[in-house]
Amino acid sequence: MNNKTGHVNSYDRTHDITPEEIRKFERFKNYTDEQVNELIDTIKKYTRFIYNVVYKRKKSGRKIALRIDNQQTKAA
């Protein structure tokens, strides 16, 4: 599979998700350019956060506990 044109859910991606890829999903087909760009930015921030958590855990050799109580889960 060519990474540049790989499936949206591929772990082999080497580029950011595009607005066109986002709009292929029924839920996002009518998003404005601004909404799509905000979504892409949110995805980038989330993935950077997760990557940093995993990287720090690997580097330290310790587990990083992300404790979420029931109230926080319900609020999300």
The string of pLDDT tens digits covering residues 49-58 is 998 888 877 7
Q: And the tokens for 57?
A: 């855990």
E strand or H helix at 56, and its extent?
helix 33-60
Q: What is the pLDDT of residue 5?
A: 47
Return the higher-pLDDT residue of 69 and 42.
42
The count of other CB atoms within 10 Å of the CB of residue 34 is: 8
What residue type is 2 in one-letter code?
N
Residue with tokens 């940093």: 52
Q: In the chain, how long is the greatest CA-to-CA distance?
A: 45
> Can you tell me the mean pLDDT for 9-27?
86
